[in-house]
Every structure is written in structure tokens, then in C-alpha cells.
Amino acid sequence: MRTHLLSSLALVGLLSCDNGKSDKSSSDHISKVAVTTPLEFMPGLISTEHAEFDLIFTQDNKTVYFTRRVGEEKQRIYSSTYADDGWSMPEIVSFSTDRDEYPNLTPDGKTLYFGSERPIPGRPNLGNFDTNVWKTTLVNGSWTTPVPLDSTINKVQAEGETWPLQNENHFNTADGETFYLCTMRRGEEGLDLYHTTLKNGSFSEPEKLPATINGEDSWEYAPKLSPAGMYLFFQVYGREDGLGGDDIFVSKKDTEGNWLPSKNLGPLVNSAGNETPFGMTSDGKFFFFGQLSPEEVAREGTGKIYFVSTSSLNLENLFSQ
């Protein structure tokens, strides 16, 4: 069963200032016109009454991976593919066999990283709840059996430790070399963002991002890079310039590659509820995010998946102020 996106939208807008790579495929099948006010993405098919979050696209923008939790069941990773008659009915991907979440693809589409509660062989979790980063690779059109990243990235909990300590997930990259993740390390008091570099098949020890990203008294998590890696979007709890519970903030790299002081993405996306970034289509044209209204937060609701034209975020103006 397939369906179409049917909405009355505004006139065509400009593409994101970050899209600039000619090898990216068009996302016109998502919307041929600008989306100046956030719209729910594929309501009833992908954004449903269940809990859906962390949606990503392949480079051709024709396949989407996302997390779905149905009722009290463990969440799984699903995929849906676009053809001439619309998006296919989402199905659980072959490698998602436990509590799996937060899929992230490398730019070449050959490796998918995700967070999982599944136990790491030989390294049992002794705490109350622990997620780690796993990866699967695409070989002859099929995903291989996932394997965990080594102890440089995955730090299992010791006896008596609780979430979010040593929970690694949201392993995101724009170039396949520098990866961004969130976790709470021992001795820290909140979730923070880290980065690590993949070189000769091994990851460097994660380093915490600077104070322009990580606040002293706030929590930062769910990092998502723009396609060219110029912008870093992430979820924040506990900042004075927030609009609600959790807001989406963004930082931009300066000419020397340093992250500028992060900014609240503003009321077009953020609200009095909770928001989390999912990232962009590969051409940089559309920005996707999740939102729970204050009422949904209060009753632990499921929230919805939304998208908006990246041009409507006014990112350049945000960092010229």
C-alpha cells in the first residue's frame, strides 16, 4: 500500500545555503514547493499514532529510516521507500531485532550506525539501562549482522550506574570521518556532545565539544549535521533562552572550522513543548524534526514528525545578528 503527500503549499523557495553539492539527488518528491510552515510528514503512514522519531534519508532521498515504538513494545528501526506511486508501507529492517533506535547513515550509504540496548558480547552491562552504538554494512543489497563499536566509543555501565550515564547513541557524520555523539561520562552531571575521528578503521577517543555547544548547566544531545557539515543541530534542555522543555539549537562553523556560539532555532520550530532535530534531506532543501506539544509531554504522548523548508529557518541571518 502506498500513499501520496497531499497538501496545499506556498510558492517555491530557495534551497538551503548548505546544500552546495551537485551529486545530491532532488527531494522534489517530498514537496515541489516551499514549506514555510511546518507540516506533518506522511501522516498516517510514517508519522502515526505510534511513537516515531529520528528519521533519516538516503542520498537519493528515496528511502527513509526511522525509529518506531508501538505501544509498550521495544522500539525498532523501520524503513520506507519512495516510488512513482508514493511511499511504501514502513517495515522493520532486517537487522533491528532488539530495542534499536537513532539510525544514522554514512554519506556513501554503505554503513548504518544505530543505538541499541542489545548486550555487547563479553562486556555485560551491570547498571540499570545502557545503550551502545552498533553498525551494519550494506553488502550486495543486504544489511550485515550488526556489530558493536569497541570500548573507545561504547562504555558499558558498572554496577549501580543508571541512565543516562555511559549511554552512547546518535552517531552522526557528514563526511564519514568525523562523528558526533552524545553521552554522559563518569564524573559529569549531564548529557553532552562529543566528536571522534575515524582513521584507518579505528575511532579516536571522543572529545567533548566546546562551551559554544555544551552548556555548564544544560543537557545537549541528539546531534545532527547539515549535509556539508556546516551546521550542527542538537537538542537542549535547561538553557535560559529556551522556549519550552527541550528546544532545537544550532551552531555554525566559522571560516577556521570552529563552532560558533549556538543559537535557539526559534519559534518556527520550537515551542513550549519538546523538539528534537532529525536533520535534512541530502540536498539540504528540507529540515525534519520531532515535536511533542505540552499536552503530549504531560501525558507522555507520542509526538509527530514535521518538516519545513530549510530556507525558512533563516540560518544565515541567525548568525549575522
Distance between CA atoms of 278 and 135, rounded to whole angstroms?
19
Residue matched to cell numbers 571560516: 255
* C-alpha cell at position 230: 556546516
pLDDT of residue 85: 84
Q: Kindly report the CA angle at 233 between 275 and 195, in degrees rounded to 5?
A: 125
pLDDT of residue 4: 33
Residue matched to cell numbers 534551497: 15
Domain boundaries, the chain: 39-318
* Consecutive H or E run containing 53: strand 51-57
Per run of 10 residues, the mean pLDDT along the chain (length 321 residues) is 33 36 74 96 96 95 96 95 95 97 97 97 92 97 97 94 90 98 92 97 97 96 97 96 93 97 97 94 97 71 88 95 70
pLDDT of residue 299: 55
Q: Tell me the pTM.
A: 0.91
CA within 13 Å, CB half, 53: 21
pLDDT of residue 319: 94
Residue 62 CB partners (closer than 8 Å, separation 6+): 25, 29, 81, 82
* C-alpha cell at position 71: 505501544
Cα 17 from chain centroid?
A: 20
Phi, psi angles (nearest 5°) of residue 315: -65, -40
Phi, psi angles (nearest 5°) of residue 165: -60, 130
pLDDT of residue 109: 96
pLDDT of residue 272: 92
Q: To which CATH superfamily is domain 39-318 assigned?
A: TolB, C-terminal domain (2.120.10.30)
Instruction: Provide the total of helices (H) and of strands (E) in the chain, helices listed first.
Output: 2, 23
Distance between CA atoms of 223 and 251, rounded to whole angstroms?
11
pLDDT of residue 25: 80
Distance between CA atoms of 257 and 290, rounded to whole angstroms?
28
